[in-house]
Amino acid sequence: MRITIWNEYVHEKQNPAVARHYPEGIHTVLAEALRKHLGPSVSVRTATLEHPEHGLPQSVLDETDVLVWWGHQAHDHVSDEVVERVAKRVLDGMGLVPLHSAHLSRPFVRLMGTSCMLRWREADEKERIWVVNPSHPITEGIDGEFFEIEREEMYGEFFDIPPPEELIFISWFQGGEVFRSGCTFRRGKGKIFYFRPGHETYPTYHHPMVQRI
Ligand code: ZN
């Protein structure tokens, strides 16, 4: 499997509170995690916004089976050409894994066709992620009915997405909200998995269960 991890890579260079957890960028931590968990059966490369064509020329997408996407403050800096190219490649069979604030990334919104807006609050709340589809391969290796992240940003419903094909995780937050945290979709020949955790000021992508998923 050939995996490309795309990260806008902006917060890490501007905010010391983010750089503390991700000194070389969220993409680097994700790449290391995937190499560690999946071994030599996968090839992992990374790409960021600042590269020519954001590091996603057609040749890279043609050699990508799964594209992981993290973005937040620079969604609007992703060019129309790259958005269309990614969306078309998904329809042709590439997997797409939008993480956390990539709910508003342009390729995801384009493929969903809805606003993809949600409720949110940054208040250092505990997140409990319930496994609601334990036979699904995405949940392989998760022990127990749920796992917890000690502090995260809250995302709450209503999350304006089309009804997911499969719901894999539901999050509960200390403030009482719940959220559809792990959702699958199909578009054309491509499969999409949205996964919620990963606010940039928390060390979420170092969490073993999050890495596993
Ligand atoms: Zn966030």
Ligand 1 centroid – CA 31 distance (Å):
20
pLDDT > 70 fraction of the chain, expressed in percent and rounded: 100
Q: How far is the CA of 213 from the centre of ligand 1 (A)?
A: 18
CA of 198 to the centre of ligand 1 (A): 7
- Taking only the tens place, the pLDDT of each residue in 109-138 is 999 999 999 999 999 999 999 999 999 999
Alpha-helical runs (H) found in 15-123 = 16-19, 26-38, 58-62, 80-91, 106-112
Q: How far is the CA of 109 from the centre of ligand 1 (A)?
A: 17
Q: How far is the CA of 154 from the centre of ligand 1 (A)?
A: 8
pTM, rounded to two decimals? 0.98
Distance 122 CA to ligand 1 centre (A): 8
> CA nearest 154: which of 132, 179, 184, 131?
179
Cβ 135 vs Cβ 167: under 8 Å? no
pLDDT value at 143 more than 90? no
